[in-house]
Amino acid sequence: MARRGKRRDRPGPIGFLVVDKPIGWTSHDVVDAARRWLGIRRIGHLGTLDPLATGVLPLAIREATKLVPFLEGGEKVYVGTIRLGVSTNTYDAEGEVSYRHEGALPDETAVRAALAGFVGEIQQIPPMYSSVKKDGVPLYKLARRGEEVAREARSITIHRAEMHHFSETEIGIEISCTPGTYVRSLAHDLGELLGCGAHLSGLQRTRSGCFEYAQALPPETFEAAGEARTLEDQLIAPDVALGFPRVSLTAAQARKIANGGDLAAADARGEWEQGPAPRPGLRVSAMSPAGELVAILELRPDRRLHPLRVLAGA
């Protein structure tokens, strides 16, 4: 008997949607919802958010999933609140209380000075309740079994850590950091440094790389657009998200690139002609005569543009 093949997604435009993730939703919940809105399966997200967190969660639609590696390294910005005097086993408000401080809490000057000490390149140990794996097993699964294991510290960079409000038991923060930073761990470590304990009581991501909160819309807006069949009109074009200089290909050049060939830089017409001579390592968006993204190309020392990623529609 013939095997039934996988159902293929209907063809359509590619690009990105920016969802304002609600509290209580996992990142996978958002992806599952987007699959219903669009009626397709090929959707991925950029940068996991905890269920407690809200804010910017970019989604890659169709072939845009191939472009995720070119967008994952951007700056992350968060605003949040940290509760002083209480630590939890998850480092956030969803966990069980593991320590409650009985004495006086530190004053604003002490908290501000301690927070400033985290700015720069630091080593951070991920929380047990995280998706980081130990011997192939996610840490959160071990934590749910009551196990705690040694975790390797990771190098992260906190570009900016500001306190925008202070009360005796809670502070408001804004953090700019590299991908892979756990703001929960930052809150916990701040409490340890101050000697009073602390946990993250609320968090919103306001930027993820090139995607900003001003672009984010709630799920119900996207759901309504999906029902009206206008959702694909709201996609952020992939070349816009990437922000690379564009080169315009002829039909013959587009076919060559689609087949894995390269292109002499001198034959590429595009935005870089308006500036200084491009240097090796530069990445560009190769656009078809119809104005669609064909591939990501990289300039090599031999002055040729080599394809790093070719899209299936090329």
- DSSP at 52: T
Mean pLDDT of all residues belonging to the chain = 91
Kindly indicate the confidence band of residue 130, based on its pLDDT and cuts at 50, 70 and 90.
confident
Q: Using the predicted structure, report yes or no on whether residue 62 has a pLDDT greater than 80.
A: yes
List the structure tokens of 21.
């993730």
Per-residue pLDDT at 133: 80
Q: Using the predicted structure, report yes or no on whether residue 7 has a pLDDT greater than 90.
A: no
Kindly indicate the confidence band of residue 1, based on its pLDDT and cuts at 50, 70 and 90.
very low
Do residues 268 and 305 touch, judged by C-beta distance below 8 A? yes
Per-residue pLDDT at 313: 62
Q: Using the predicted structure, report yes or no on whether residue 166 has a pLDDT greater than 50.
A: yes
What is the SS3 assignment for 309?
strand
Q: Using the predicted structure, report yes or no on whether residue 2 has a pLDDT greater than 60.
A: no
What is the per-residue pLDDT across 206-254, written as a single tens digit (0 to 9) for each?
A: 999 999 999 999 999 999 999 999 999 999 999 999 999 999 999 999 9
Kindly indicate the confidence band of residue 256, based on its pLDDT and cuts at 50, 70 and 90.
very high
Do residues 24 and 54 touch, judged by C-beta distance below 8 A? no
Nearest Cα neighbor of 161 from 270, 100, 42, 80 is 80
Q: Using the predicted structure, report yes or no on whether residue 312 has a pLDDT greater than 80.
A: no
Q: Using the predicted structure, report yes or no on whether residue 255 has a pLDDT greater than 60.
A: yes
The residues annotated as belonging to the active site are: 50
Kindly indicate the confidence band of residue 8, based on its pLDDT and cuts at 50, 70 and 90.
confident
Question: How do the residues of the chain divide into helix, strand and coil, expressed in percent and rounded to 5?
Answer: 25, 35, 40
Amino acid at residue number 6? K
Per-residue pLDDT at 226: 93
Measure the CA–CA gap between 282 and 71, rounded to whole angstroms: 15
- Give the β-pairing of 198-208 and 54-61: parallel
Do residues 263 and 246 touch, judged by C-beta distance below 8 A? no
Domains of the chain: 15-73+211-238 (3.30.2350.10), 76-207 (3.30.2350.10), 244-310 (2.30.130.10)
